[in-house]
Amino acid sequence: MKLATVRVDGRTVAVRIDGNDAVELGVPDVGSLLRMPSWRSLAAGDGPRRPLDSLDYAPLVTNPDKVICVGLNYRNHILEMGRELPEHPTLFAKFRSSLIGANDEIVLPAVSARVDWEAELAVVIGARARHVSEADAPGVIAGYAVLNDISVRDYQNRTLQWLQGKTFEHSTPLGPWLVTSDESPGPSRAIRCEVDGEIMQEADTADLVFSPSTLVAYISRIVTLEPGDVISTGTPGGVGHARNPQRYLADGETVVTSIEGLGECRNVCRKERSD
């Protein structure tokens, strides 16, 4: 199943993608749906239909309890950077106000000229989980989506902690839809980021050092994972900050973030007005 959150008449509603239609499910977003224990049968139900090509995507989950991101998680990228493979995942968080829909504008903050892209596989939690084993982790994953962990590098690197460069308002595309685990390809999926048609990142999610199951198990030892929580699994090589010369996003550029089988986020960058 493919599930999305769309904007309709000033509200949001969760939908199921059904061929060329989107079927309204009567709840405000995919996160609200996942918080219902019987979400799979509710999501299979019927409701008002809308044409797929008319959809205005909201962030897939509009109000997650947590968005947890992982740094340094693609084997090739870590080795090419001359680092050793990490023993533990690097974790940081984003606030929900950073999330945007699959076709919304990425706001380039007025205070920075160093905004970068990070194509990532996002895991969406479908059941409450605490101290879950790696073997049981697939059972609490609702499915997968595309996320771009847009990063403001000068702010990120001001201190050892990255938070301030990772959670700028209206910066992080999440969508276009959740592909449920049973229909998601994996673990090998092509992941890519293009800027104005130029391929910047191209890798395979099979190259992750810490798999979705490993991350779910690890994080669930720290905190209870709730339905609708998002875990973003890290980005492969090819970010603008690591290029020579360095390259950053500019007003009017289009960022396309895609993962095989999961669709794409296509976002135009807009410089924030400082007045």
Binding site residues, Zn ion, CB under 5 A: 118, 149, 235
Of 78 and 132, which CB lies nearer to Zn ion in the complex structure? 78
Distance in Å, CB of 149 to Zn ion, minimum: 3
CB of 89 to Zn ion, least distance (A): 12
Angstrom distance (rounded) from CA 18 to CA 163: 38
Buried-state track 139-154, b at ≥16 Cβ within 10 A, e below 16: ebbbbbbbbbbbbbbe
Whether 249 contacts 240, CB under 8 Å: yes
SS3 label, residue 80: helix
Shortest distance (Å) from residue 200 CB to Zn ion: 14
CB of 110 to Zn ion, least distance (A): 23
Closer to Zn ion by CB, 29 or 264: give it.
264
Q: Which of residues 14 and 231 has its CB atom nearest to Zn ion in the complex? A: 231
Q: Residue 91: is it exposed, middle or buried by C-beta count within 10 angstroms (0-12/13-18/19+)?
A: middle
Instruction: Please state, in angstroms and rounded to a whole number, the distance separating the CA atoms of residues 122 and 231.
Output: 6
Question: Smallest gap, in angstroms, from Cβ of residue 120 to Zn ion?
Answer: 6
Output the CA torsion 42→48→49→50 (10° steps). -120
Nearer to Zn ion, 220 or 232 (CB): 232
Instruction: Find tokens 């790696």 and name the residue.
Output: 134
Task: Give the position of tokens 């099979």.
Answer: 206
Q: Closer to Zn ion at the Cβ: 149 or 264?
A: 149
Cβ atoms of 1 and 183 within 8 Å: the answer is yes
How crowded is the C-beta side of 253, counted as CA atoms within 13 Å? Answer: 19
Nearest CB to Zn ion, comparing residues 104 and 149? 149
